[in-house]
Structure 1
Amino acid sequence: MRAVPVWLRHALFIAALIGVWELAASQGLLDPAFFGRPSGIAAYLWKGFVTDGTLWRGYTLAGAVIAFVGGSVCAVATGLLFMVFPGFHRASEPYLTLLNAMPRIALAPLFLLWFGLGIGSKVAVGFSLTFFIVLSATVAGIRSVNSDHLVLPKALGATPRQVFTKVTLPSAVPVIFSGFRLGLIFALLGVVGAELIAAEHGLGQTLAYLQSTFSMDGVMGLLFLLAFLGLGITSLMNRLERALLDWQ
């Protein structure tokens, strides 16, 4: 007897979980006012994606992408600068540690005051989260390069620039990509968190409204949507990393 495929086992488990959830809600074992019910969640998502299309508006995803790209570019540039000028790194490290220790979500009202209710304040929160994550990964990745891999090119006459571009940076890419993967998730979390506080558009703003009106089906539907967005982002980054590191 052939083994059951993994995807089929996952599908059966999810189907059974949804069935038990729906049955418990219909029998009153779970209060739909607090937990929602799968049929109501499906109806909300169908309306949001098919009937009126309100969930296709990409304010949240656009803000997360802008925050991730901006934060990652600045972080990698800063990390490379630190490696070129170690003294500058040592001098700025205490201040960066202090800034990184600040809870960015608690700073969201300040970003709202500076950048307004639009996408700018959401990007600022996501940027601040992404920057420090990718910066730490960049510095750690460059420092983790095996010293033996650096000695041989120098002995063969390679210039410092050639050693950095041909050995150090490619060897650090896996660790940097780990920072990218985590940074993209935190960019999305930062944007959604800022939208929950105050926003004109976005999934976070919609989530806050649904919570205030006790529409639990909508709340659960958006939570599942955000979870699948995070899963999709992680899968995409994993595929991109494998494609770029195919040479290893």
Structure 2
Amino acid sequence: MMSAEKALRASAHAAFILIVVGFWEYSAQQGWLDATFFGRPLGIASYLWRGFYIDGQLWLELGYTLMGAALSFVGGAVAATAVGLVFTMLPRLNRVAEPYLTFFNAMPRIALAPLFLLWFGLGIGSKIAVGISLTFFIVLSATVAGIRSVNSDHLILSRALGATPAQIFLKVTMPSAVPVIFSGLRLGLIFALLGVVGAELIAAEHGLGQTLAYLQSTFNTDGVMALLALLAVLGLCTTSFMNRIERALLAWQ
């Protein structure tokens, strides 16, 4: 059951959104806001209704984007976590690799998207490559920082009590590092989505980014605003999903 406080908070958010949307629509009807530049809520709703429930095309584009973002996130997160664990066990290797990682991380991946398109083509492969390149460095930094932030007194006490390295890692190091690592994973998931959409904006066969680029070129402001709102909702949902997983893993605290 939803508590009274949560229900009141949800009602307040809903009322605020309705007021903003209502004022937006009224302003567009009265000519205070030019619908050519800002769109209209009714036009946005009509575009989403038609795209999802009339011709169903948006389901296909949404599926391509979500699949690319999911594969990018999983690939980048797994690789970054593995490399981060190696770096924490071999600090000297981390010091040697750090300038090279900083060099590659400083490269603007969206600017490199045309190169990825040349290597992997217009299909989903190039979008996954861009997403992984964004996710990897964020999760890697969070993994290394999280493991290194473990209280040294806890490690010393665990060794003194006879805990094995595996027990220390599973029962002391990882539980303590989870909050920091999940902060990186949360950002990594968002950046995976942004990377895929950004690459789709440049060139793609399918995806929300490709649709957004077409709508911009045809000055379909309602469609552009609708897809921007849809992407914002996706970002909100993914962040909420990661927060729930984090709370479940940290229920012991």
TM-score range (shorter-chain normalised) is over 0.9
Q: Which residue of 1 aligns with 2:190?
A: 185
Does residue 95 of the first structure (1) align with residue 100 of the second (2)?
yes
1:120-159 CA distance string (max 9 Å, x none): 0000000000000000000000011111110101111222
Does residue 159 of the first structure (1) align with residue 164 of the second (2)?
yes
Counterpart amino acid of residue 63 in structure 1? G
Report 1:235-246 matches (<5 A).
235-246=240-251
Match of 2:229 among 207, 224, 232: 224
Q: Which residue of 1 aligns with 2:12?
A: 9
Offset at residue 85 of structure 1 (A)? 1.1
Q: Which residue of 2 aligns with 1:27?
A: 30
**Structure 2 Cα separation of the partners of residues 136 and 96 of structure 1:** 10
Q: Which residue of 2 aligns with 1:60?
A: 65
**Structure 2 Cα separation of the partners of residues 158 and 22 of structure 1:** 65
Offset at residue 87 of structure 1 (A)? 1.0
Partner of 1:117, secondary structure, is coil
TM-score scaled to structure 1, two decimals? 0.97
Does residue 46 of the first structure (1) align with residue 49 of the second (2)?
yes
Report 1:210-221 matches (<5 A).
210-221=215-226
Q: Which residue of 1 aligns with 2:127?
A: 122
Q: Which residue of 2 aligns with 1:206?
A: 211
Partner of 1:199, secondary structure, is coil
Which one is further off, 160-169 or 182-191? Answer: 160-169
Offset at residue 95 of structure 1 (A)? 0.2
Partner of 2:111, secondary structure, is coil
Q: Which runs of 4+ in 1 moved over 3 A?
A: none
**Structure 2 Cα separation of the partners of residues 9 and 153 of structure 1:** 49
Offset at residue 165 of structure 1 (A)? 2.2
Counterpart amino acid of residue 10 in structure 2? W
Aligned-pair identity in percent equals 73
Q: Which residue of 1 aligns with 2:21?
A: 18
Q: Which residue of 1 aligns with 2:151?
A: 146
Offset at residue 174 of structure 1 (A)? 1.0
**Structure 2 Cα separation of the partners of residues 166 and 7 of structure 1:** 38
Match of 1:105 among 110, 116, 127: 110
1:201-226 CA distance string (max 9 Å, x none): 00000000000000000000000000
**Structure 1 Cα separation of the partners of residues 163 and 25 of structure 2:** 66
Partner of 1:128, secondary structure, is helix
Offset at residue 32 of structure 1 (A)? 0.7
Counterpart amino acid of residue 182 in structure 1? L
Q: Which runs of 5+ in 1 are unaligned?
A: none
**Structure 1 Cα separation of the partners of residues 99 and 199 of structure 2:** 27
**Structure 2 Cα separation of the partners of residues 121 and 35 of structure 1:** 32
